[in-house]
Structure 1
Amino acid sequence: MSPVTSLILGLGLFFLGLRLVGDNLRLLCSSSFRDVIRSSIHSPLARVGVGLSAGALMQSATAVTFILVSMVGSGLISASAAGLIIIWCNVGLTALAFVATLNISAIVGLVVGAAGIAMGMLRKRLPQTVAGAMLGLGLILYGLERMSAGAAPLKEADVFRGVLEHAVANPVLAFAAGIAAAAILQSNSGAVMLVITFAASGLIDLEPAMLLIFGTNMGAIGLRLFLAAGLNRSMLRLVRLEDLFCVISGVLMFGLFLIEQCGVPLVGAFVRSLHRSIDVQLAVVFLLSNLIPAAVMTPFMGVWRGMLEKLWPDKSAADDPSRPMYILPQALNDPSTALDLMGKELIRLLSNIPVKPIEEGDGENPDPAFQTLSLAIETFAVQLSARSVLNEKQAALLHGLRAELSLIRHTEEAVRHFCRGLKPDAAGKLDETLADLLKDVVDAASSRDAAKLAQVEERTKWKGEFLNQVSNGHAEALETLDATAAHEDFRIAVWTLHRLSKLITRLDANGS
């Protein structure tokens, strides 16, 4: 196998391992991670610990950021509490660099082999998931070995050495090369491990390797710009906070490097004083390039939030009712959060049902905004069932939420059919009564208040006193339908709300 082939193979195995570790740990820790975050929201020190742990396990600050974006959207954590976790997860992901410096090549093959056999033989979900995470870890370590084996012979290749020396010829070029490497690989951890591999093989000296590492944090910003498209402003600010950390990290560490070139002993002097191998020294550099910016930013979290709110303020105008606000593609990797977000989006869909007189000739089809949003929710549900491994409880909840979507569509159809018989000047009468009742259902569903839901169920009974009094008292608001038909249209619309409130109550009871 040629050195270049070995290097590419190592990179491929490394990223495959990262993917396996991340995916399987999300399955293992999804509900536990949510519970830990809930318990940490009142303690800054606990949030720092959660960030360190999440970064070390997920090995991707971008993945942790978007998990938190989803959790903020579902109301599990505030944006201010999530910020500290995002900052410190960058420090946690440096753990892999230290693991890679250990001499554990003798057991890597055993880990990969045993995990692969376990995945092939075991059928239960939990053991398979654990085996998948172990296989991912083994592939990461084996990939690093192959990268080292491929990089060592390249030291003798004049062309490769010439290209590499040109890329790190001066501090600015080396820093920019680090940004480019992380952008191409879409992973600052992967880029750093590649730099450490080259340095350990003698291809790069300590100083240019440090500059490459300083630049890697900024390389992932482009990917997040793409992934953050469509987020509302409060969620977008969390992604921009991670981008801000990367910018501050790169600028701060590059500035410290330039100061050190003027004779002030800083990061370079410290790692040289360790008298360890260059891979250990660069692992420490990677740690410091994230630890120092995190320590600098933490006391001023309020300042950063205020700055981001000025740059990306909440929109004062009403949001586009046809555009999803909560269901994010990134949430599909976390079924529990995805189901929470889907529930919130369904309530938003219900609140967007228009209750107003419809002119003659209109009303054959749902309101375009309602139809677009309902289709987006349906697509999200299909993707969730196809892409995620759901346990029995999650599968039952997803089935219930899809039933809720169906009932909301029936409610919209019933309300639309009723509104087609209203006079345009009948405002303040039957349409307002139905609109108020719909608002009560939305409020009860949003608060998940069992008492409010019970009240709505009682008011919307088919033969309930409230329903009969309201429908009999507003027959004059109709233009073309006789009183009997009008009563029936109104009662059908209210009956769908009754069924919907009962379903929401049942879903809440089963989900608790």
Structure 2
Amino acid sequence: MTFPVTLLDLAGCIALLLWGTHMVQNGVQSAFGPRLRSFLAGALKTRARAFLAGLGVTAVLQSSTATGLMVAGFAATGLVDLVPALAVMLGANVGTTLVVQVLSFDISPLSPALILIGVIMYRRANGQAPRDIGKVAIGLGLMLLSLHQLIALITPYEDAPSLRMLMGAVSTQPVVAVAVAAVLTWVAHSSVAVVLLAMSLGAKGVVAPEAALALVIGANLGSALNPLLEASSASDPASRRVPFGNLLNRLVGTVVALALLDPISRFLIGVEPATARAVADFHTLFNLILAVAFLPFLNPFATLLRKLFPVKVAESDPARPLYLDPAALETPVVALGNAAREALRLADILETMLACTRDALEKDARPRIPEAQRLDDVLDRLNSSIQAYLMRLDSEALSAEDHRRLDEILAFSTNMEHAGDVLDNSLLPLAAKRLKRGLAFSPEGQSEIAAMVERVIGNLRTAGALFMTNDARTARLLAAEKAVFRDLETRATQSHFDRLRAGKIETAETSGLQLDVVRDLKRVNAHLVAGTAYPVLQREGDLLPSRIASELG
């Protein structure tokens, strides 16, 4: 077999290793992501508990990036202080080493059994959780298979001059090895895969033990690059505190470990002659020593980061998204939470539009009309931003529950925008018409309109609460409001026709205007029900396909 073909096989084995790692991470996030996020949020009380929480969550997720995104979100919103957030990242870095410790032993015979069990669970299981666990088993099996194939592929060529020449620069220049591993980790988004690759190359003697350890150092450095690069797109510099702090302690560890690389490698090989085990032990010790060194100094470290990345003063543009963090897209449960928070802003804007409309209908408040029209533009732009953000999520990484939540967010934000369009295109022109013609509602009509607007505002607040809780009882209460508004429209229609029959032309014009207002408020209320109550009632099986009663026979 020619050397170029061998390189192609080598690339295929590495790709299989990366794909197996990707399957494990996605499966675990889909199965346990929300619960791990809740556990992490509740454990961030002290730096010791935060360190252990970061270690445990990352050991399950096998992704320090995912853990970092969760805790960075908590820190950016003020839910957790910067010190425990940094402690979580130190624990997360240790947590990623545990799977490497397990895979450093020869457990490749388990690969076929894991893949078989995983395929059966994925194809035959009814629930989403067993399917996700099946995906994890398949991923682990593929990782073991790729490592076995990698070693088998390298064995015949370990003395080949061409392969030795390729690895010569890496073996003789530790700085080059660190740079190569850092770039590979950045591209692959997985330090675990690169450390396992270094372990395989060292075990077959393709690279010297010292070079294998340098590759491990580079993998640890590269694992801190992606979170920082993703956070750099955020508008608030404060969101970069946690990832930059993580990168800074990686840099300190890299410099110290490179300076002491020769005595460290000789010591480890003397204690553990098997290179694969020495590489795994060094990976764990590197992160443990950094954690022990940095934990006592997190307070001054956090002070330094706050000075480097101060909180940015909010911009004046109300249509600018506040919570749609691009860095969170790799962790769907975090991204969906961000989108839900942004969607709630739509309800606040719509409430302000309703208040403007009420003022324009009740009194001579002409400036409130253009104010409400500007807010409708804000609604449209924010809704577009939310939809674009959600469409960037990897659908394969979403569980059934994630897909359901994504649909709920889209339904909520779309109906908020449609409700705003009703105000902008219909109710506000009615208010402008009343002011232009100098029409005045009767005291009774004025009171009825004010009561209806307040009722819609109350329903809007209920809809916002329902959007967050998905409570079936609240959904039934909100859905019942449709019948209330149908009755209000019926009474307003009857009152208008009674005035026409009585020949009261002067009052008929205002009653017709009032009828149009009632109909539009009914349409606004219908969007609130459709955007929040109907999805919950449909899930509970309480939503009928039609309101039309039919008699058979």
- Measured against the shorter chain, the TM-score band is 0.7 to 0.9
Say if 1:177 and 1:329 are closer, same or farther in 2 by CA, change over 3 A: closer
Q: Match for 2:23: what amino acid?
A: L
Equivalent positions of 1:295-314 (< 5 A) are 295-314=292-311
Q: Which residue of 1 aligns with 2:551?
A: none
Name structure 2 gaps, 5 residues minimum. Answer: 357-365, 439-445, 493-508, 540-553
- Paired residues of 2:66 and 2:331 also in contact (CA < 8 A): no
Q: Match for 2:20: what amino acid?
A: G
1:151 aligns with 2:154: yes
- Structure holding more helix per residue: 2
Over the matched positions of the two proteins, sequence identity in percent amounts to 20
- Structure 1 vs Structure 2 CA RMSD: 4.6
Q: After TM superposition, give the deviation of residue 434 of structure 1 in Å.
A: 12
Task: Tell me, in whole angstroms, the C-alpha distance in 1 between the residues paired with 2:526 and 2:76.
Answer: 27
Q: Which residue of 1 aligns with 2:25?
A: 22
Q: After TM superposition, give the deviation of residue 274 of structure 1 in Å.
A: 1.8
Residue correspondences, number: 484
Equivalent positions of 1:460-499 (< 5 A) are 484=511, 487=514
> Quick one: which of 417, 423, 431 aligns to 1:409?
417
1:228 aligns with 2:231: yes
Task: Tell me, in whole angstroms, the C-alpha distance in 2 between the residues paired with 1:13 and 1:288.
Answer: 28
Task: Tell me, in whole angstroms, the C-alpha distance in 2 between the residues paired with 1:141 and 1:79.
Answer: 38
Name structure 1 gaps, 5 residues minimum. Answer: 469-481
**Segment drifting more, 433-442 vs 117-126:** 433-442
Q: Which residue of 2 aligns with 1:325?
A: 322
1:166 aligns with 2:169: yes
Task: Tell me, in whole angstroms, the C-alpha distance in 2 between the residues paired with 1:337 and 1:402.
Answer: 16
Task: Tell me, in whole angstroms, the C-alpha distance in 2 between the residues paired with 1:79 and 1:232.
Answer: 18
Q: After TM superposition, give the deviation of residue 503 of structure 1 in Å.
A: 7.3
Q: Secondary structure at the match of 1:52?
A: helix
Q: After TM superposition, give the deviation of residue 294 of structure 1 in Å.
A: 2.1
Q: After TM superposition, give the deviation of residue 94 of structure 1 in Å.
A: 0.9
- Paired residues of 1:151 and 1:201 also in contact (CA < 8 A): yes
Say if 1:144 and 1:320 are closer, same or farther in 2 by CA, change over 3 A: farther
Q: After TM superposition, give the deviation of residue 414 of structure 1 in Å.
A: 3.5
> Quick one: which of 101, 107, 110 aligns to 1:98?
101
Task: Tell me, in whole angstroms, the C-alpha distance in 1 between the residues paired with 2:420 and 2:348.
Answer: 10
Q: After TM superposition, give the deviation of residue 195 of structure 1 in Å.
A: 1.6
Q: Match for 1:194: what amino acid?
A: L
1:193 aligns with 2:193: no
Say if 1:59 and 1:395 are closer, same or farther in 2 by CA, change over 3 A: closer
Q: Secondary structure at the match of 1:202?
A: coil
> Quick one: which of 56, 62, 67 aligns to 1:64?
67
Task: Tell me, in whole angstroms, the C-alpha distance in 2 between the residues paired with 1:400 and 1:158.
Answer: 60
> Quick one: which of 34, 38, 59 aligns to 2:41?
38
Task: Tell me, in whole angstroms, the C-alpha distance in 2 between the residues paired with 1:171 and 1:387.
Answer: 38
- Paired residues of 1:56 and 1:93 also in contact (CA < 8 A): yes
Task: Tell me, in whole angstroms, the C-alpha distance in 2 between the residues paired with 1:225 and 1:486.
Answer: 57
Q: Match for 1:86: what amino acid?
A: M
Deviations 1:219-254 (A, max 9, x none): 2455335533543427722xx523432342233343
Q: After TM superposition, give the deviation of residue 15 of structure 1 in Å.
A: 0.7
Q: Which residue of 1 aligns with 2:255?
A: 254
> Quick one: which of 370, 377, 401 aligns to 2:386?
377
Length-normalised TM-score, structure 1: 0.76
**Segment drifting more, 162-171 vs 361-370:** 361-370
Deviations 1:264-291 (A, max 9, x none): x6x4465244233111111111112222
Length-normalised TM-score, structure 2: 0.71
Q: After TM superposition, give the deviation of residue 499 of structure 1 in Å.
A: 5.8
Q: Secondary structure at the match of 1:156?
A: coil
Q: Which residue of 1 aligns with 2:500?
A: none
**Segment drifting more, 336-345 vs 72-81:** 72-81
Q: Match for 1:321: what amino acid?
A: P
Say if 1:486 and 1:45 are closer, same or farther in 2 by CA, change over 3 A: farther
1:347 aligns with 2:350: no
Task: Tell me, in whole angstroms, the C-alpha distance in 2 between the residues paired with 1:40 and 1:95.
Answer: 21
Q: Which residue of 2 aligns with 1:281?
A: 278
**Segment drifting more, 433-442 vs 310-319:** 433-442
Q: Which residue of 2 aligns with 1:473?
A: none
Deviations 1:444-484 (A, max 9, x none): 7778799x9999x99xx8699xxx9xxxxxxxxxxxxx755
> Quick one: which of 52, 55, 64 aligns to 2:55?
52
Say if 1:496 and 1:483 are closer, same or farther in 2 by CA, change over 3 A: same
Task: Tell me, in whole angstroms, the C-alpha distance in 1 between the residues paired with 2:166 and 2:530.
Answer: 65
Task: Tell me, in whole angstroms, the C-alpha distance in 2 between the residues paired with 1:203 and 1:505.
Answer: 60
- Paired residues of 1:183 and 1:219 also in contact (CA < 8 A): yes
- Paired residues of 1:7 and 1:149 also in contact (CA < 8 A): no
Q: Match for 1:271: what amino acid?
A: L
Q: Secondary structure at the match of 1:8?
A: helix
Q: Match for 2:297: what amino acid?
A: F
Q: After TM superposition, give the deviation of residue 137 of structure 1 in Å.
A: 0.5
Q: Match for 1:255: what amino acid?
A: V
Deviations 1:374-412 (A, max 9, x none): 123234556669555544x66665554444324312331
- Paired residues of 1:108 and 1:138 also in contact (CA < 8 A): yes
Q: After TM superposition, give the deviation of residue 24 of structure 1 in Å.
A: 0.9
Say if 1:245 and 1:346 are closer, same or farther in 2 by CA, change over 3 A: closer
Q: Match for 1:408: what amino acid?
A: M
Q: Which residue of 2 aligns with 1:205?
A: 208
Q: After TM superposition, give the deviation of residue 122 of structure 1 in Å.
A: 4.2
